[in-house]
Structure 1
Amino acid sequence: MTQKRSLLGRIGIFIAFVFLQNLSTIGLQVEVLIGRPLSEFTYALVVSVIFLAVMVYFIKYYQGQLQEYNPRDFGENLSFKGKVGWIILTVVGIYAFLILVSPLLPQGTAENQQVVNQMFANHVLGVTLYGAVLGPIIEELLYRGIFMNFFWNQKGRLYDVLAVLSSGVIFGLLHEPQLSLYLVVYAAIGVFLGMLYLKTKDIRCNMIAHILYNGITFLVMFQTL
């Protein structure tokens, strides 16, 4: 069972998952790998196949975790009753936070966003599918679902706080792997999403909130085309 694995074993497996997620992003550089440009449709198809495969694998592993050991009853209530409001509140909360801290941020764009902007300019469809849909689903499965059940799968306020904060920090480091104010911003977004997961106990709510947040960002990016 998940709770019976050694801490070192759990850390090793989680690092392997993070490596797999990062390795899969090589699909976004498929043109560099094969040495020739692809059509918009072909590029989107390659990106979709790669990330869908990773997504399905993470879904199966996450479901297996919950079957083995699930003291918090994650995924037990499949009804969206009472959850939609929390999804909307989370997205609004993230954007309100960003508005408040934006005057404190250095001029320019975070390195992660710069990379996305560059790829978006070359392949709108494929990068939008990844950034607005597939990426958020994979990240929520890994950094909320799998992570919290690996390391903080016991009931208690202390475990809740540690789960939310640690998942937020790791999520921040994924997007900004250096000490900066952007790291704080991404970590805070992860905290918002962590609180949503603990509140609704439904990873689908996290996926929807993350897709909404990223989707709005991509709508803004479309205006730059």
Structure 2
Amino acid sequence: MLQKNLRFIGNLLIVSVLSVIIVNISSLPVYIYLITANWFTLLVSFSLYAVIIVFLYNIYKTTAELRQFDFRPWRARLNKRALLLMVIGAVIIVALAFGYAKLTAVWHITESGNERALDLLLRKNPVAMTLDAVIFGPIAEELSFRGFFFSYVLSDQYLDREYQAATIVINGLLFGYLHSGNSLVLLAYYTLFGMVLGTTYLLSKRDIRVNSVAHMLANLGILWLVPS
């Protein structure tokens, strides 16, 4: 049992490092159009995003097949349970965002540097940032954070609930750390954000489309409904 647990911890450490590298690479398109936003840089950025997403999808697919998990292709039919999980996941995340916005207002928590930068970018390049936040970003993040991460860690000998729960928590913490900067409140918010998506992924029996759409709907809801 000790050897099994040590191997599990080792897999978590390895995949965490790999996920950080993959996420940093997948964010490269953003920096292209942030330098200067025009039709050419936007075309290059989102074309690169498409290539990266295909690459991440193949990494996820290969990892899932090596771990001998059922792999659902994008065109497979979605059942009612999957659709319900998409909506529930998105609603919970938007509720978390409302709670975070209320908390920062009541406690007079100043906006982090990362948040200020994102708000500025959204005002300067609303179309590009909306496409990034609602379509390309969530798909890329879910393929790496949930698809690749969970497939690498939860092999057939780590399917017990305690291993799944540990993976959800560590994955959420990593997701929170990479999104929060130096803010502990943001860390808590994004950690819960990631844990909701990790739970949604496992409840959907590892259907990456479910948490990808939940992430997309949540970001759309946050942009439209949550006060900044």
Tell me the TM-score normalised to structure 1 length: 0.81
The AA in structure 1 aligned to 2:192 is: A
Verify: 1:75 aligned to 2:65, yes or no.
no
Verify: 1:25 aligned to 2:30, yes or no.
yes
Cα deviation, residue 65, structure 1: 0.9
1:210 to 211, 215, 220: 215
Q: In structure 2, how many angstroms separate the alpha carbons of the residues matched to 1:179 and 1:152?
A: 30
CA contact (8 A) 1:44 1:129 kept: no
Q: In structure 2, how many angstroms separate the alpha carbons of the residues matched to 1:205 and 1:213?
A: 12
Q: 1:93-142 deviations in whole A, cap 9, x for unaligned?
A: 12223334544334343433322221122222222111111001001111
The 1:76–1:44 alpha-carbon spacing in structure 2 relative to 1, beyond 3 Å, is: closer
SS class of match (2:181): coil
The 1:98–1:129 alpha-carbon spacing in structure 2 relative to 1, beyond 3 Å, is: closer
Q: 1:44-80 deviations in whole A, cap 9, x for unaligned?
A: 3122112112111101111111121134x35389431
- Gaps of at least 5 residues in structure 2 are 1-6
Structure 2 counterpart of 1:60 = 58
Structure 1 counterpart of 2:4 = none
2:143 to 136, 141, 144: 141
Structure 1 counterpart of 2:89 = 90
Range 209-218 or range 99-108, more displaced: 99-108
CA contact (8 A) 1:173 1:187 kept: yes
- Gaps of at least 5 residues in structure 1 are 32-37
Structure 2 counterpart of 1:121 = 123
The AA in structure 1 aligned to 2:119 is: N
SS class of match (1:29): helix
The AA in structure 1 aligned to 2:19 is: F
The 1:195–1:137 alpha-carbon spacing in structure 2 relative to 1, beyond 3 Å, is: same
Structure 2 counterpart of 1:34 = none
Verify: 1:156 aligned to 2:155, yes or no.
no
SS class of match (1:169): helix
The 1:134–1:22 alpha-carbon spacing in structure 2 relative to 1, beyond 3 Å, is: closer
Pairwise mapping of residues 157-172 of structure 1 onto structure 2 (< 5 A)? 157-172=161-176
Q: 1:13-38 deviations in whole A, cap 9, x for unaligned?
A: 4343133124443223232xxxxxx4
Q: In structure 2, how many angstroms separate the alpha carbons of the residues matched to 1:50 and 1:116?
A: 21
The AA in structure 2 aligned to 1:51 is: Y
Q: In structure 2, how many angstroms separate the alpha carbons of the residues matched to 1:207 and 1:157?
A: 23
Q: In structure 1, how many angstroms separate the alpha carbons of the residues matched to 2:20 and 2:177?
A: 13
CA contact (8 A) 2:90 2:214 kept: yes
The 1:164–1:207 alpha-carbon spacing in structure 2 relative to 1, beyond 3 Å, is: same
Q: In structure 1, how many angstroms separate the alpha carbons of the residues matched to 2:71 and 2:202?
A: 8
Q: What is the percentage of aligned positions where both structures have the same residue?
A: 22
The 1:103–1:120 alpha-carbon spacing in structure 2 relative to 1, beyond 3 Å, is: closer
CA contact (8 A) 1:152 1:160 kept: yes
Deviation beyond 6 Å, 4+ runs, structure 1: none
Q: CA RMSD in A?
A: 2.8
